[in-house]
Amino acid sequence: MVTARDVDPFELAVFLPALCRNMGVPYCIIKGKARLGRLVHREPCTTVAFTQVNSEDKGTLAKLVKAVRTNYNNRCVTRRHWGGSVLSPKSVGRTAKLEKAKVKELSTTWGYLGIVEFSARKNN
């Protein structure tokens, strides 16, 4: 699958690389719609998917697919991992403050049973 970089509105093609990676389809992004339009002999076009290939062109396509998989599909740089479940000091303080408020509220309600004081002492 070949997609142009200057698609407008961009939301039409923004999901295609992730979908192609998940489905194992080789994809690449080229510079402009005009170049892609020259390939299919039409007005500027945004995306092209190859469904049939002549037998004499299969070797050339195999080389192209190998290059595309190396440069687009198999790049680890494009897959980013956000977060990592490490909270910032500000978030840790806010969470601790909320927990203290919960313990205080529960101690006023259930404090006479001694359950909340025990769990609060255990956590600190």
Residue 118: per-residue pLDDT: 52
Each residue's pLDDT tens digit, 29-58 = 888 888 888 888 888 888 888 888 899 999
Residue 55: per-residue pLDDT: 92
Verdict on whether the full-model pTM lies above 0.75: no
Work out the percent of the chain whose per-residue pLDDT is above 70.
80
Distance CA 106, CA 94 (A): 18
Residues 6+ apart with CB under 8 A from 88: none
Judged by DSSP in three states, 3 sits in: strand
30 neighbors 2 (Cβ within 8 angstroms): yes
Residues 6+ apart with CB under 8 A from 6: 31, 32, 33
